[in-house]
Homo-oligomer: A and B are copies of this chain.
Amino acid sequence: MTPIESLAAALPAGAVLRDPDVIERYRRDSAADPTAGTPLAVVRATCTEDVQEVLRWASAHAVPVVPRGAGSGLSGGADAVDGAIVLSTERMRKIRIDVATRTAVVQPGLTNTEVKLAAAEHGLWYPPDPASVDISSIGGNAATNAGGLCCVKYGVTGDYVLGMQVVLADGTAVRLGGPRLKDVAGLSLTKLFVGSEGILGVITELTLRLIPAQSPASTVVALFGSVHAAANAVVAITAMLRPAMLEFMDHASINAVEDHMKMGLDRSAQAMLLIQSDAPGAAADEVATILAECEKCGATEVFATDDPAEGAAFTAARRAMFPAVEKLGSLLLEDVGVPIPQLPAMVTGVEDIADECDVLICMVAHAGDGNTHPVIVFDPTDADATDRAHRAFARIMELAIDLGGTITGEHGVGRLKRDWLPAQLGDDVMALTHRIKDALDPHGILNPGAVLR
């Protein structure tokens, strides 16, 4: 038996897939990186023991392992490496809601929406809501510490992870944390594995904190004559209150979504803010403040509604931005974040970069927490255009770092942003990161090339 045959024999029938057509489907995540490698095999684990078996085998044979959730990542974090095992957790789909501890114990293969729906059956809410809720896996959400639209008020994935089971590089499975809001026994290892992008271990179960269902939200839509004016309104609003959602779309994004959905968005607006308040008993006051601040910052039109369906329609428009823009060409998806006061400089800086590099950039932002998604659209058959797109991609990250920000607010470093990480973190933090990586994965078999060189 070859080594891969011995692995197949040790796993449930059908777990190891080697068909070239299948392998092709598991080579890349949603960043569609053309440089992704070709794996030796795909393994679809059904349980923690399968994951342990794969990692013990990989350690013994020095084979790299690329953990993969739903493959919806946008930074190449799940891109295959030549000769690797792509280890998919998509078939691990158990979930148990415990109302008494207000927690969900979930396997990594469920989508975020599936977790939300299971919690909602008990009147509970799992808040983190990446725009990809319907397609991204909860395991991938934890591995990237995913954010979303509600983070501005409700925090990110890591704020909801109370515990996990994780398989280490040598195949050891450990349980960290548990259904306890407070537990300081030992190091905060649970939090270390959140956002570790598969380079420290493979998460096989999560214990998630749930909270009572969200109150119905009121929605404000405000249009502006410039991205700068809209960004100023964001700074003004967030200094006064904490909205439940504060999203930004620029002119190009509004028009791409309108082409896609035909919902009557104002195509002439240079920028739109979509703002929600869910403060029970105080939403009317918050809405009044939001409207006043938008008008002070020069909004050309403002509109408020208490109708949840109307609010949901605008939120759906915002979430439709990526699929809408995908129709325009190949994409480089940015995910830079800055401290809120730097948001006006960031959005106008992106406009300048688009001009200077002569590329189309559609921009949306989780503006309330300073996390912007400039999306660079280009024609991949045009070498010069591709080159200009990559130049813009780099310059946007450099601008974010210059403004005291981050190269990635929620998508992760993956492979696409790896080369810019040292510029943000500095040599000492990179050295610290390598020390932890080397301590936990001494042979470097876990997702090599992601996050770190």
Contact of A371 among B182, B194, B412 (CB under 8 A): B182
Contact of A181 among B156, B183, B239, B429 (CB under 8 A): B156
Residue A408 is within 8 A (CB to CB) of chain B in the complex: yes
| A188 adjacent to B181 (CB under 8 Å) | no
Q: How far is the CA of A429 from the CA of B281 in the complex (A)?
A: 46
Residue A390 is within 8 A (CB to CB) of chain B in the complex: no
* A101: B residues at CB distance < 8 A: 339-341
Interface size on A, residues (CB 8 A): 84
* A339: B residues at CB distance < 8 A: 100-101, 178-180
Residue A370 is within 8 A (CB to CB) of chain B in the complex: yes
> What residue in chain B is nearest A279 (Cβ atoms)?
B280
Q: How far is the CA of A241 from the CA of B215 in the complex (A)?
A: 13
| B406 adjacent to A174 (CB under 8 Å) | no
| B425 adjacent to A432 (CB under 8 Å) | no
> What residue in chain B is nearest A180 (Cβ atoms)?
B337
Q: What's the number of copies of this chain in the assembled complex? A: 2
Say which one of A28-36, A266-274, A322-330, A433-441 lies at the interface with B: A433-441
B interface footprint on A150-176 (CB within 8 Å = 1, 0 otherwise): 011001101100000000100011111
B interface footprint on A47-81 (CB within 8 Å = 1, 0 otherwise): 00000000000000000000000000000000000
* A174: B residues at CB distance < 8 A: 426, 428-429, 432
* A182: B residues at CB distance < 8 A: 147, 151, 156, 337, 366, 369-371, 406, 409-410
Contact of A175 among B408, B417, B429, B437 (CB under 8 A): B429
Q: How far is the CA of A192 from the CA of B432 in the complex (A)?
A: 12
Most chain B CB atoms below 10 A, which of A172, A194, A429, A433: A429
Known contacts A158-B191, A408-B184: A242-B212 contact under CB 8 Å: yes
Residue A27 is within 8 A (CB to CB) of chain B in the complex: no
Contact of A340 among B100, B235, B366, B409 (CB under 8 A): B100
Q: How far is the CA of A212 from the CA of B235 in the complex (A)?
A: 15
Q: How far is the CA of A172 from the CA of B435 in the complex (A)?
A: 14
| B185 adjacent to A196 (CB under 8 Å) | no
| A188 adjacent to B145 (CB under 8 Å) | yes
A-B contacts, 30 listed (Cβ < 8 Å): A100-B341, A102-B238, A102-B239, A145-B184, A147-B184, A151-B181, A156-B182, A175-B429, A180-B370, A182-B337, A182-B370, A182-B371, A182-B406, A183-B408, A185-B413, A185-B421, A185-B425, A186-B413, A186-B424, A186-B425, A186-B429, A187-B196, A187-B200, A188-B191, A189-B433, A189-B436, A191-B191, A192-B436, A436-B436, A438-B439
